[in-house]
Amino acid sequence: MVNVELNNGSVALVVEESSRFKLRPKVLLILNEDKNRFEERVIDLSEMPTDVLSTVLSIRAIISPNDYQINSKKYYQQGIIQKGIANK
């Protein structure tokens, strides 16, 4: 599972690739722009979602899970993601 930072500063896990847009996968948002935890949700970057400033979200960088103590196994155990497919 790949951990990414979005262009608005949010942190997410890539949970599913887009067959049409390889650089715009489905991601599970884990941390908000201020790097605070909030209720996780899945967004599909291929649908060109925007943030509160109407900026189209995209991946800025790949990050280490250790940067923000992200434990992807937790999301498998909770059933939020299974085998790379988001359940939300």
Instruction: Report pTM.
Output: 0.85
**Cα 47 to Cα 36: distance, rounded to the nearest angstrom:** 25
Domain count, the chain: 1
Strands (DSSP E) along 1-75, which ranges?
A: 3-6, 11-16, 26-31, 37-44, 59-63
Region 64-82 average pLDDT: 81
Q: How much of the chain exceeds pLDDT 90, in percent?
A: 57
pLDDT, tens digit, for every residue of 50-72?
Answer: 998 999 999 999 999 889 988 88
Q: Which of 74-78's residues contact partners 24+ apart within 8 Å by CB, and which partners? A: 75/13, 75/28, 75/40
pLDDT over 80 at 81, yes or no: no
What is the domain extent for residue 49?
3-86
